[in-house]
Amino acid sequence: MNIHEYQGKELLAKYGVGIPAGIAALTVEEAVAAAKQLPGPLYVVKAQIHAGGRGKGKFKELPADAKGGVRLAKSIEEVEAFAKEMLGNTLVTIQTGEAGKQVNRLYVTDGVDIDKEYYLSMLVDRKTGRVAMIVSTEGGMDIEEVAHNTPEKIATITIDPAEGFQAHHGRAVAFALKLSGDLNKQAQKLAKQLYTAFIAMDCDMVEINPLVQSKGGELLVLDTKMSFDSNALARHPDIFALRDETEEDPAEIEASKYDLAYIKLDGDIGCMVNGAGLAMATMDIIKLNGMFPANFLDVGGGANKEKVTAAFKIILADPAVKGILVNIFGGIMKCDIIAEGIVAAAKEVNLSVPLVVRLEGTNVQQGKDILANSGLAIVPANDLGDAAKKIVAEVQAVA
Ligand code: ADP
Ligand code: MG
């Protein structure tokens, strides 16, 4: 689960991390009121969307030469003008895709006099099984480009979870950032605070870009991106409450209500499969046959009629879907029960695209009979290869 910049900053502030003052706003009036509470004379008005690259982003509704989603305001009047320009409009950044994201929230924050920008992020490194802290002196700009062109400017410090954060980790971070004197001490302290926060909140990823050194000699967090391990959210109701559903794909929200693992993809073939491994194999074999999956969808081991119906509805709501491939192994749930679910669901949703079903497992023959006698144009398949060939042929025949 992702959260907004201002929410991330509020969470990190509880761990002592240096954050410039700021207040979130949902309306122009709130933005003005927020600015009045800040010391000034410089304010930054920041669009709050779950995507980075806002500074260099463009608003669809504004002229091409207009500034992006991070604006420096020199007066309260400017804060008001920028808030009017941003709220309700669509910001397109390198991370939003062409459709962009509507800006519904702003963050009005202190303008910081910046001396230098750094990069610092943390993530769970699956290769080493440790939390990796990734730092660079080249913050503020596209870190992917730095990684590509000058990888030597990026340092990775990993922390063994059994050992925990040690003083030497902090020194390594400060050294990699080439800081000396008091700033070096601040960096060591910050690294420890961030690691503590990361573990305590079950984070997946924390990215601070930029981390800045202010003209006053302070290390401050100017931007945050945070995401949390969804499997751990049950023990963090306060963090779960920060979820902003307007930032999520409506189909993925619907899927989560039925406990379906659904991820939208770019292809034409909707997939309904039980088990993540089988889902991956199904996607692979569709590609092998020359088309692309429209989604990843794992209905889980206990797929019943309600889940299958919900899954059909979610797949069909995607206008890109030109055909559906159901590939289910009846293990815990018997094939005849699944077949009944598929037939009932297909009738309920008024299936309008070709449907190929491959069933295997317990009571497979009864299941196939139910599909054959349903009166629906369901194409049966015998194995994975057969199923993929058939759905591709069906879709291409319609096109
Ligand atoms: P994004 O990464 O989405 O573009 P950032 O919050 O990183 O958004 O802002 C982009 C740039 O704007 C930063 O690299 C920094 O130079 C400047 N900036 C952001 N917040 C402030 C602030 N509070 N004071 C001064 N400059 C800021
Ligand atoms: Mg940034």
Atom of ligand 1 nearest to the CA of 46: 6
| 146 and 203 both lie in a single domain | yes
235 and 258 share a domain?
Answer: no
- Does the CB atom of residue 380 touch ligand 1 within 6 A? no
Q: Can you tell me which atom of ligand 1 is nearest the CA of 141?
A: 14
- Strand, helix or coil for residue 312: helix
Q: Are 104 and 68 in the same domain?
A: yes
Do 171 and 232 sit in the same domain of this protein? yes
Which residue in the block uniquely carries the two structure tokens 């406990």?
Answer: 259
Catalytic (active site) residue 207: yes
For residues 259 and 377, state if they share a domain.
yes
Nearest CA residue ID for atom 19, ligand 1: 222
Shared-domain flag, residues 275 and 378: yes
For residue 9, being part of any structural domain is answered with: no
- 53 close to ligand 1 (CB < 6 Angstrom): yes
236 and 177 in a common domain: yes
Whether 342 is in a domain gets the answer yes
How far, in Å, is the centroid of ligand 1 from the Cα of 48? 12
**Residue 13 covered by a domain:** no
Reply yes or no on whether 195 is catalytic.
no
- Determine which one of 119, 195, 258, 262 is catalytic: 119
CB atoms within 10 A of CB 252: 16
Please identify, among 91, 110, 129, the residue that sits at the C-terminal boundary of a domain.
110
Considering the domain architecture, whether residues 127 and 211 belong to the same structural domain is answered as yes
70 lines ligand 1 (CB under 6 A): yes
Ion ligand 2 residues within 5 Å by Cβ: 209, 223
The one catalytic residue in 5, 85, 138, 207 is 207
Mind listing the pLDDT tens digit for each residue in 14-34? 999 999 999 999 999 999 999
Report whether 341 belongs to an annotated binding site: no
209 among annotated binding-site residues: yes
Task: Give me the CATH number covering residue 269.
Answer: 3.40.50.261
364 falls within a domain: yes
Instruction: Please identify, among 240, 274, 301, the residue that sits at the C-terminal boundary of a domain.
Output: 240
Query: Is the preceding omega at residue 380 within 30 degrees of 0, hence cis?
Result: no
Ligand 2 centroid–CA 53 distance in Å is: 6
- Per DSSP, helices labelled H in the chain are 5-13, 28-37, 76-86, 143-149, 167-176, 181-200, 237-240, 250-257, 276-288, 305-316, 335-348, 364-372, 384-398
Q: Which domain holds residue 265?
A: 250-398
**pLDDT, tens digit, 9 for 90 and up, residues 265-278:** 989 999 999 888 99
Q: Is 105 in the pocket of ligand 1 (CB under 6 A)?
A: no
Q: What is the pLDDT of residue 141?
A: 66
- The total of structural domains in the chain comes to 3
Among residues 110, 140, 164, which one ends one of the domains? 110
Residue 10 in any domain: the answer is: no
Question: Does the reported pTM lie above 0.85?
Answer: no
pLDDT value at residue 387: 96
What is the C-alpha separation between 202 and 191, in angstroms, rounded? 16
Q: Give me the residues of the chain with pLDDT under 70, please.
A: 141
Output the pLDDT for position 304: 75
Q: What is the pLDDT of residue 383?
A: 92
Classify residue 247 by its DSSP letter: G
